[in-house]
Amino acid sequence: MKKSLIIWGLLLCAVTRLAAQDVISDSVSSPSDSIHLHPDTFKLQDQQRAADIDLLLLQLVQHQGELLHAEDTIGLTYAERLKIDSLQREIKEIDSLRTINAQTIERVVAEVPTFEIEKSWVKDEQEDRNDVLRAIRDMRTPWRREATVMLQVTQTYVTDNWYQGGSSSFAGLGIFKGQVGYYSERFTWENTGEWRIGGSTISADSLHKVNTTDDILRLYSKANLRVVPKLFASISAEFETRLLPTYKSNSHELKSGPFSPVRFNAAIGLDYKPVKGLSISVSPVSYKVIHIMDTARITETEFGLENGQQTQHNIGSSMRVEYTWKPVREVSLESKFYMYTNYRHVEIDLEVNCDFIINRFMSARLMLHPRYDSSVIMKGEDHAKIQFRELLSIGFAHKFR
C-alpha cells in the first residue's frame, strides 16, 4: 500500500510539474489563449489557469499528508523517505512557478500600454496578440528592431483616339526600411536604413522605356544621453545617395546618377522629446559634405557646387524635427523636417508620409515633399525656387518585428 502511494505521488508530481510549465509557457510564449485585447482596453484572462495551479497544489499537499500519515503508522525505508523529501521540493518549485507566473502577468499589464496598443476601427485579434508578444519580448532586452516592406503601383491606360488625349503610364514604388535601436533609462541609440526606388513608363517619352521617379538610399544614426528628463545630449550622422541614373524627359542628359550626389551630415547638439513620438534636435555645430562622382555628365551647380568642383565641405548649424502620430491603428502619420544653414545659404526639407492601412498586407500612402535649397546655382538672373512632389499609391505593405 505504501509503495503504491509513493508511486502515485511521484506520477502526480511529474504531471503537475509539466502542467505548471505549460501554464507558464502559455502565459508568456502564446498569449492567444490567456491574453485577449480589445480595441481600447485589454484583459488578461489568467484566472482559470491560476485556479488550476492552486488545485494541483492542493492535491499534492493532500497526498503529501497521506504519505506522512503512512510514515507515522507504518514506517518507511530510507529510500522512501528520500522520495517524500523530493516531493516536498517539487511542491516548493511549483509554488515558485506560480509566483513567477503572477509576476509576469503583472509586468505585461504594466508594460504593454507603452508599446502602442492603439485604438482601431477594425478589430484585429492577431495584431493584438502580436502586440502582447512584442511587449513581453521587449521586456527581456533593451534592443528593438523593425522592418517595413512596401510595394505599390499606379496604372493608367489611354488609347490614341481618346477624346481628351493623354498618355498611358505605369508607375511602381518600392520602400524597404529597417530600424534597430538600443533603449535604456539614460542612453538610446537609434539606427535607420531606408531605400526607396520608384519608376514609371510614359508613352510620351520616346527615349526611355522607364524613368526613375524616386531613388534614395539613406542611413541615419543617432545616439542620445539623457541630461535631464526629456532633454538629451545628442550626436548624429546621416549618409544619403542615389543608386540609379535619372534622365530628363526625352533627353539623354543626366540629372543624377549612382553616388552622384553623395551627402553626409554629422551634428552635435541637444535632442528634446516633450511628448511621445516627437523629437526636436538642434545642432549648433553641423558638418556637411556633398560629393559628385560623375561630374562629366551631371551638372554639379544644381547641387550647390561650383563649376568643376567635385566635393564641397560646409560647417554650419542644423535642426531636425521628427513626429510620428497614430490616431488609430489604421492611420499612421510620419513627418520629418530638416533645416541646414552655413550662414550663406539655407536648405529646408519637409517630408510628410501618411499611411492608410487596409488590412495586414495592403495599405495606401500619401506623400507630400516640399523642398528649398538656396545654394543651387541658377543660370542668368534666375534664383532658387521651392521644389515639390506628391505621390498617392496603393499596394502591398507589411511590417516585420
- Pick the closest to residue 387 from 337, 340, 348, 342 (CA basis): 348
What grid cell was written down for 88? 516536498
DSSP string covering 12-23, please?
HHHHHHHHHHHH
- Cα 165 to Cα 266: distance, rounded to the nearest angstrom: 49
DSSP string covering 324-353, please?
EEEEETTEEEEEEEEEEE-SS-EEEEEEEE
Strand partners, 195: 176, 217
What grid cell was written down for 331? 492611420
Cβ–Cβ < 8 Å for 272, 257: no
- Cα 22 to Cα 356: distance, rounded to the nearest angstrom: 39
The dihedral over CA atoms of 23, 24, 30, 36, expressed in degrees to the nearest 10, equals 80
Cβ–Cβ < 8 Å for 226, 248: no
- Cα 297 to Cα 253: distance, rounded to the nearest angstrom: 7
Q: At what angle do helices 78-111 and 125-140 cross, to 10 degrees?
A: 110
The dihedral over CA atoms of 62, 67, 71, 73, expressed in degrees to the nearest 10, equals 70
Alpha helices in 74-172 (DSSP H): 78-111, 125-140
CATH (one of 2.40.230, 1.20.1300, 1.20.140, 2.60.40) for 141-400: 2.40.230
- Cα 3 to Cα 71: distance, rounded to the nearest angstrom: 11
- Pick the closest to residue 331 from 352, 351, 354 (CA basis): 354
Positive or negative: CA dihedral 76, 77, 83, 88? positive
Angle at 211 between CA 208 and CA 216, to 5 degrees: 145
Model pTM score: 0.65
Pairing of strands 246-247, 362-373: unpaired
pLDDT by residue for the chain (401 residues), tens only, comes to 545 545 555 555 554 454 444 444 444 444 433 334 443 434 444 444 555 555 655 566 555 555 555 444 455 566 666 666 676 676 666 667 667 666 666 665 555 444 444 566 665 666 666 666 666 666 667 888 899 998 988 777 777 777 656 677 788 889 999 999 999 889 999 999 999 998 888 766 778 788 888 889 999 999 999 999 999 999 999 999 999 888 877 777 888 888 889 999 999 999 999 998 999 999 999 999 999 988 888 888 888 888 888 999 999 999 999 999 988 888 999 999 999 999 999 999 999 999 998 887 888 889 999 999 988 877 666 777 889 988 888 888 888 87
* Composition of the chain by helix, strand, coil, percent to 5: 30, 45, 25
DSSP secondary-structure letter at 114? Answer: G
Residue 308 amino acid letter: G
71: left (phi over 0), alpha (psi -120 to 50) or beta: alpha
